[in-house]
Structure 1
Amino acid sequence: MSAKGVIIIGSSRSKGNTYTIVSQLQQQTGFDVIDLKAYKINHFDYDLKNEDDFNALFKKITATYEIFVFATPIYWYTMSGVLKVFFDRISDFLFEEKEIGRRLRGKKMGVVSCGSDQEIKEGFIMPFTESANYLGMQYLGDIHTWIENKKITQEVAQRITEFANRLMEK
């Protein structure tokens, strides 16, 4: 049996192109999907005085899942602001409640990007790979996807299937 995984979608549109891609990946992996837009997550605060949904969400997902797939549209050549704020907030658990932050050690990370171009710019993946390294996570790789005429192309469908298979390997 494979490890339990979650796809965390960070988009400004809950049912946009990235969601279309995530739905296909979810069908093939059976992973749960969490839409960050459905949560109130404030920007990082050095005083750690945020009163929002992040801490409870982070505690739940780190206790529940072994594989984390971050799915993001490409906005201005990088991950979405919604997802960047999520990554920034992981710092909450590097300063306080460190045992919660340490739950990520040994877990696995993958990335799905969705953009209007068929290629991503050099450097896009670096924040993910370096975050995985810093947090002690195993980086499983990434795929870049796009939608044409509101549909998943055969090439993108193949990428999704190959990525799903990689995620499901032990």
Structure 2
Amino acid sequence: MNKTLIIQGSARPKGDTNTIISYMALKGNFDVIDLYSKNIGHYDYEYNNANDDFIPLITNIIKNYDTIIFATPVYWYTMSGHMKVFFDRISDLIRIHKDLGRKLRGKNMAMISINNSNDLVRGFNMPFVESANYLGMNYLGDIHTWVENNNIPNKVKTIINDFIENKLST
């Protein structure tokens, strides 16, 4: 199995992030999950949200995918709230679902950031890189993309195509 999943973490299901990942998913034949469509509660030390969508979702991801690409818009110089909540909930896999969490080891992670210009701040990728390291995942790299006037510029398409070919193809 070498299946790749893109996890979209945007507050606009059909916004710029979706424009980028729709192009990428088609080019790479990748599956997509939109966190906006899921009911995932914030991390809770009492685990009062144990019956939300997180555990079934992450179980499916771990079972069916080798490579996970996190796609997030840039909101206030960091990942989106939807993406941050998802990352926080990975703590469930470290504290109470340890056997499931250990299955992330050896899987691949990558990140795509999206906004409306080529101006990503330095260090944006750090939470992704360090999370991959902590979880024993292979960090394949990241790219920054942007959309101009509801279109993907040719320069960005080249960045995406190169990333697929050089980082995601095995």
Report TM bin, short chain: over 0.9
* CA offsets 1:32-63 (integer angstroms, 9 cap, x no match): 00000110000000111213111110111111
Query: Partner residue of 1:155?
Result: 155
The answer to whether the Cα contact below 8 Å between 2:140 and 2:168 also exists between their aligned partners in 1 is: no
| Separation of aligned partners in 2, 1:17 and 1:168 | 22
- Residue in 2 that maps onto 1:129: 129
Distance 2:67 2:165 in 1: 13
Higher mean Cα deviation, 42-51 or 11-20?
42-51
SS in 1 for 2:44: coil
> For 1:152, what is the secondary structure of its paired residue?
coil
1:149 positional shift = 1.1
Count of aligned positions: 169
C-alpha contact (below 8 Å) 2:66/2:107 kept by paired residues: yes
What letter is aligned with 2:98?
Answer: K
Report what 1:120 is aligned to: 120
SS in 2 for 1:151: coil
Q: TM-score, normalised on structure 2? A: 0.96
Equivalent residue number for residue 49 of structure 1: 48
How far apart in 1 are the matches of 2:33 and 2:151? Answer: 22
Aligned residue for 1:148, secondary structure, equals coil
Contact 1:140 1:166 in 2 (8 A): no
C-alpha RMSD of matched pairs (Å): 1.0
Query: Partners in 2 of 1:25 and 1:166 — Cα distance?
Result: 14
Q: Deviations over 1:82-101 (max 9, x none)?
A: 00000000000100120100
Q: Percent identity?
A: 50
- What per-residue deviation string (whole Å, max 9, x for no partner) do you get for residues 87-134 of structure 1? 000000100120100111000001010012202101100000000000
C-alpha distance in 1 between matches for 2:134 and 2:66: 17
Q: Which runs of 5+ in 2 are unaligned?
A: none
Superposition misfits of 4+ residues, deviation over 4 angstroms: none
Partner of 1:7: 6
Q: How far off its partner does 1:168 sit?
A: 3.5
